[in-house]
Structure formats: structure tokens, C-alpha cells
């Protein structure tokens, strides 16, 4: 039996809105022969099913097992055609592609002048909207038509098209080089993680400088600048230069606000740019600017002109709510953020098919941190278990590692001494497989391991000793990131000053705004 979460057709059918389902039925019903078609019967059955079950499909006598694969492929294709015809999905990029298709058909029929007329309009539209790859395809087709020696429309037409093709090709090559560099840096971060030593830093810098193409800012258009800022942003994240992250994320977002029509044409890049800007602001603890940026983003997403589709809705849910949690972490207002838990739980269920497992687990980790900050350690542990027991989380070991460390701390705070011992053994087994531990994590594990040997009257002294040790790493270029996952310093200070951890963080936030 195919897993519901892996069956592409079932996920596609379940993603359709009521209006999209209605349009699909109108589309396939336009010809009488489709009324009793098997693929419509399969569509109706899948639409009614709560979970994908191949036995139910085969038991319905709609199709034989040997024909099911072909029928599913046909239905999948018909749904995509229907969606393409839906006005909701007719954005500028799709419209330009459609005009190019029409022009190609006219050319093949020998209607050269009609084809060139459509191509000229489509090319202007493509260039204005920074769709230079499509613009280059259009120029190439114009060149093919002109070489037929049929139209002889303009004496210098050949030179004009040659110059246009050369300029667009150069711009597309620059975009390709910058986008390749950005993607390779992102892949490097997933593969080896952030730099941990000066030697790592030197290697990454050498790689970046070697692959960064030479450019003049005055020659770059919107899309080239976008990929340039993305490349610098990923380089800054890799090297843990969070001020530089803030600089280039700001340039990314400002680029959209300076070219507002691009927000509506490229809403996903707009959302991602804002998310990275907020992440950078969180890292450098600019809480007031963080709040302003988040409010501005939320207002833009809610505006009537902002594009609406399933993908955008899912990303907006993820980025806005994740950063709302971060705002409460920055301000130490954990209890005020409690209302977000139900919203996020509901959103995860609603958008699960379009949000990857890592981001879902990251939301659970943030919720766990929210409860930890409130002092509700048992609920914190419940959310951490969702991560620790997840067998599919292979990409981000650091998230798993910090989840286990926080779980140890929460078990200690909850007075669950027996469970703490079990957790310690389990965590040690996990950490032995990792050769990428922060010094902060090592010190935390050492401290928790020795808790059983510490007399109550010595506890304050041991907390002070750990605090002094960890303070060394608070501004360390390669260790400071550990504190972004778990504010150990504030937790220790809460014990030393006999105050709730939320109060400590809140007081620090107020001090930064003065």
C-alpha cells in the first residue's frame, strides 16, 4: 500500500480548493465522452477518501491493478491542465509562457507576421518583469523566423536581435553563476554545517571568492542583484557573521520594496527574504526593529493585492508564526506567546503536506522553549519528545542535539531524577555518534552528569562555576550560535539570582532598548 504522505496524486487532489474541484469537473465535462471516464470516477473516490488506500481503489472496480498506474498518471495530468487554465494561477510568468506557445503554433502554421507580433509584446512584458530567460527564448524564436527571409520587416532587424540576444545571454549567465554559488553555499551548510575553526573559515572564504563572478553593480538588474545578495547572505550564515547576514538580508528586502511589482511577481522570494532578515535580527537581538519588520511583513501578506495560493499561505504561516515566537523569546514574554501554540498546531495539520519535516520539528522546538521559559517543564519535555523520537530527522543533527540537552535541563528542573538518569544515558549514546559538539554542549553535559554527586549546599557554587565557564563562549565567533538554540546563560542566572528565567530574559531585553 502506498503511503498517503508519499502518493503525489492523492496529495494533489487533497490540496484542491472547492472552486478548483468545481473547475476541474467543468473542464473534464466539456465533452460528453468524459462523463463516465474512469479517471473522473477515480478523482471522485480520492476526493472522498480521508487517507490513501489502494485496496479501496481496487475494490471499487473502477480499474484493474495493472491499469492503476496509467490511470493515476492520466488523472494527474488532467488536474494540472485544469489548474493551468484557472485564472487564479495565471500569473505574469505563465501568461508570457502562454504567449510564447501561441507564437510557436502560429510560426509552425507559417503565419510569421502574426507570430512576430505576439512575440514582440511578450518580449517587452518579459523584460519589464525581469523574466530574462523567457525573453532570451523569445529572441531566439524571433531570430529563427527572421532567417526565413519572409518578412523583411526592418533593415537592421538582424543586428537588433543579435545585440538583444547577446545582452540577455550575458545577463542570464551572470544570474546563473550567482544562483549556482548561492545554491552551492546552501548545500555546503547542509553538508558540513557552520564554520567551526579559523581553518574552516579560510576554506569557505577561498571557495566563495573563487566562485564569485566579477560584476559591476550598475550592470546588474533586479534578478542578478537578488542572487548576489542571496550568495552573500549564505556566505555570512556559513561564517556566522550575523551582522553581515543582517546587512545582506536588508538589501534583499529593500530590493523588493524599491521594485514593488516584484513583490507580487515573486512573493516566495519576498517572504524568504523577510524571514532571513528576521532571523538575522533575532541573532543580533535588535528586538525593536524585529517587531517593526514582522508587523510590516504581516500587513503586506494580509493586503488584498498580495498573491494568494497554497504555497504562499503555507510559507506565510511558517515564517510569521515562527518569528512571532522569536519575538517573545527576545522580549522574555513567554506567557504572552502561549496563544500561538494552538494556532501553530492547527497550522501544522493544515499545511503538513507543504512544510518539510525539519521546519515542523523546528516549530516544536520553539514551542518547547516557550514552555521552558514559562517554567512548564513537563509540557516542554512532551514537545521535545516529538523531535527526539522522530526517526526521519537526518538533515539537522544540531537541532536533535540541542533538543536532547534542553530535555536534560527540563528533566532536572521538573525534579524527574529517575528520568534524568535515563535521559543522560540516551543522550550520551547519541552524542557519541556526533563529532560536531559545541564546547557549550560539552560543558552542559559534564555539569548535568555530575549533578548526582553535588551536595545541595554546593549547588550554587557549581552553577556559578558553569556560568563563568560558559561566559567565555558567549561572544566566541564559532561557539556563540549555541546560545541561540538554548539561552543557557539566562537559565544559570535565574538560579544564581533566584528569579524566573523569563524575568532574566525580559530584564536583558529592556536593558538593550535603553
Could you give the angle at which helices 357-374 and 377-388 cross, rounded to 10 degrees? 160
Name the residue with higher pLDDT: 20 or 321. Answer: 321
pLDDT (tens digit per residue) in 335-360: 999 999 999 999 999 898 788 888 99
Q: Please report, rounded to a whole number, the percentage of residues in the chain having pLDDT higher than 90.
A: 41
Q: Which of 247, 220, 225, 251 is nearest to 236 (CA)?
A: 247
For position 178, what pLDDT does the model report?
Answer: 94
- Asked whether the predicted pLDDT for residue 405 surpasses 90, the reply is no
For position 1, what pLDDT does the model report?
Answer: 37
pLDDT (tens digit per residue) in 456-497: 677 778 878 888 888 888 778 777 777 777 777 888 888 888
Length of the chain as a residue count:
514
Q: Which of 4, 80, 1 is nearest to 49 (CA)?
A: 4
Contacts of 441 (CB under 8 A, 6+ apart): 401, 402, 405, 431, 482
Question: What is the C-alpha to C-alpha distance for residues 436 and 196, in angstroms, rounded to an integer?
Answer: 9
Has this prediction a pTM greater than 0.95?
A: no
Q: Which of 107, 92, 168, 169 is nearest to 142 (CA)?
A: 107
pLDDT class of 394 with cuts at 50, 70, 90: low
- What DSSP letter does each residue of 407-449 carry, written as one string? HHHHHHHTT-HHHHHHHHHHHHHHHHT-S---HHHHHHHHHHH
Half-sphere CA count of 108, side-chain side, radius 13 A: 6
Cell triple for 333:
514574554
Q: Which of 324, 412, 335, 401 is nearest to 370 (CA)?
A: 335
Mean pLDDT of the chain: 86
Of the listed ranges 162-176, 321-335, 384-398, 498-512, the one predicted with least confidence: 384-398
Q: How far is CA 405 from the centre of its chain?
A: 25
With residue 150 as reference, give the H or E element that holds it: none
Name the residue with higher pLDDT: 142 or 37. Answer: 142
For position 153, what pLDDT does the model report?
Answer: 56
Of the listed ranges 125-129, 204-208, 386-390, 444-448, the one predicted with least confidence: 444-448
Give the sign of the dihedral formed by CA 497, CA 503, CA 508, CA 513: negative
Residue 389 DSSP SS3: coil
pLDDT class of 4 with cuts at 50, 70, 90: very low
Burial track 350-373 (b if 16+ CB lie within 10 A, e otherwise): ebeeebeeebbbbbbbbbbbbbbb
Q: Which of 192, 217, 213, 221 is nearest to 204 (CA)?
A: 192
Cell triple for 476:
566566541
pLDDT (tens digit per residue) in 149-162: 555 555 677 788 88
Amino acid at each position: 500500500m502506498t503511503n498517503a504522505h508519499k502518493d503525489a496524486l492523492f496529495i494533489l487532489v487533497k490540496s484542491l480548493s472547492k472552486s478548483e474541484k468545481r473547475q476541474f469537473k467543468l473542464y473534464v465535462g466539456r465533452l460528453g465522452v468524459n462523463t463516465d471516464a474512469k479517471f473522473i470516477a477515480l478523482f471522485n473516490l480520492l476526493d472522498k477518501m480521508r487517507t490513501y488506500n489502494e485496496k479501496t481503489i481496487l475494490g471499487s472496480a473502477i480499474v484493474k491493478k495493472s491499469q492503476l498506474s496509467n490511470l493515476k498518471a492520466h488523472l494527474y495530468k488532467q488536474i494540472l491542465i485544469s489548474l493551468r487554465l484557472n485564472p487564479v494561477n495565471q500569473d505574469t510568468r505563465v501568461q508570457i509562457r502562454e504567449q510564447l506557445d501561441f507564437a510557436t503554433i502560429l510560426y509552425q502554421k507559417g503565419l510569421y507576421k502574426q507570430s512576430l507580433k505576439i512575440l514582440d509584446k511578450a518580449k517587452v512584458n518579459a523584460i519589464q518583469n525581469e523574466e530574462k530567460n523567457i525573453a532570451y527564448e523569445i529572441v531566439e524564436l524571433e531570430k529563427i523566423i527572421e532567417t526565413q527571409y519572409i518578412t523583411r520587416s526592418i533593415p537592421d532587424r538582424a543586428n537588433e536581435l543579435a545585440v538583444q540576444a547577446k545582452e540577455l545571454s550575458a545577463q542570464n549567465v551572470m544570474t546563473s553563476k550567482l544562483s549556482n554559488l548561492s545554491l552551492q553555499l546552501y548545500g555546503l551548510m547542509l553538508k558540513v554545517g557552520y564554520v567551526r575553526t579559523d581553518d574552516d573559515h579560510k576554506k569557505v572564504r577561498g571557495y566563495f571568492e573563487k566562485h564569485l563572478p566579477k560584476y559591476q553593480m550598475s550592470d546588474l538588474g533586479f534578478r542578478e542583484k537578488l542572487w548576489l545578495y542571496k550568495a552573500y547572505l549564505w556566505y555570512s550564515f556559513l561564517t556566522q557573521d550575523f551582522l553581515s547576514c543582517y546587512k545582506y538580508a536588508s538589501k534583499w528586502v529593500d530590493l523588493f520594496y524599491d521594485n514593488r511589482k516584484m513583490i507580487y511577481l515573486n512573493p516566495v522570494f519576498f517572504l524568504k527574504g523577510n524571514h532571513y532578515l528576521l532571523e538575522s535580527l533575532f541573532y543580533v537581538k535588535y528586538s525593536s526593529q524585529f517587531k517593526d519588520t514582522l508587523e510590516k511583513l504581516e500587513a503586506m501578506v494580509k493586503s488584498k493585492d498580495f498573491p494568494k495560493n497554497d504555497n504562499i499561505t503555507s510559507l506565510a504561516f511558517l515564517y510569521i508564526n515562527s518569528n512571532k515566537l522569536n519575538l517573545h523569546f527576545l522580549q522574555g514574554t513567554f506567557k504572552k506567546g502561549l496563544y500561538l501554540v494552538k494556532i501553530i498546531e492547527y497550522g501544522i495539520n493544515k499545511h503538513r503536506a507543504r512544510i518539510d519535516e525539519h521546519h515542523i520539528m523546528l516549530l516544536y522546538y520553539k514551542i518547547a522553549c516557550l514552555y521552558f521559559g514559562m517554567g512548564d517543564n513537563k509540557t516542554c519535555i512532551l514537545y521535545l519528545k516529538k523531535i527526539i523520537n522522530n526517526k526521519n530527522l537526518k538533515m539537522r543533527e544540531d537541532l536533535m542535539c540541542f533538543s536532547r540537552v534542553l530535555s536534560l535541563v527540563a528533566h532536572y528542573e521538573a525534579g524527574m531524577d529517575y528520568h534524568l538518569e535515563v535521559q543522560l544515558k540516551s543522550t550520551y549514546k547519541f552524542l557519541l555518534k556526533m563529532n560536531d559538539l559545541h564546547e557549550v554542549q560539552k560543558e552542559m553535559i559534564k555539569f548535568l552528569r555530575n549533578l548526582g554527586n553535588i551536595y545541595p549546599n554546593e549547588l550554587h557554587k557549581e552553577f556559578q562555576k558553569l556560568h563563568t565557564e560558559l561566559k567565555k563562549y558567549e561572544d566566541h565567533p564559532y561557539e556563540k550560535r549555541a546560545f541561540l538554540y538554548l539561552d543557557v546563560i539566562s537559565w544559570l542566572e535565574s538560579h544564581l539570582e533566584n528569579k524566573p528565567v523569563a524575568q532574566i530574559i525580559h530584564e536583558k531585553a529592556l536593558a538593550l532598548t535603553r
